[in-house]
Amino acid sequence: MIVSQEELPDVVRIIEASDKNAFFFYNDIEGVSKQYYIAPIR
């Protein structure tokens, strides 16, 4: 999944709320090989 820096705290909170023992990894990326569209945060 690709999420913006603004969305990351909410995503982490949701994961931790649903499973305290969940394993997840996140990392900054330098680029993406294909075009994509990120809808504005409302």
Tell me the pTM: 0.63
pLDDT computed for residue 5 by the predictor: 87
Model confidence at 4: pLDDT above 80: yes
Q: What 8-state DSSP symbol labels residue 5? A: T
Residue range 18-39, pLDDT digits in tens: 999 999 999 888 877 777 777 8
- How many domains does the chain divide into? 1
Q: What is the pLDDT of residue 16?
A: 94
Rg (CA), the chain: 12
CA angle 17, 23, 27 (to 5 degrees): 100
pLDDT of residue 11: 93
Q: Which domain holds residue 4?
A: 1-42
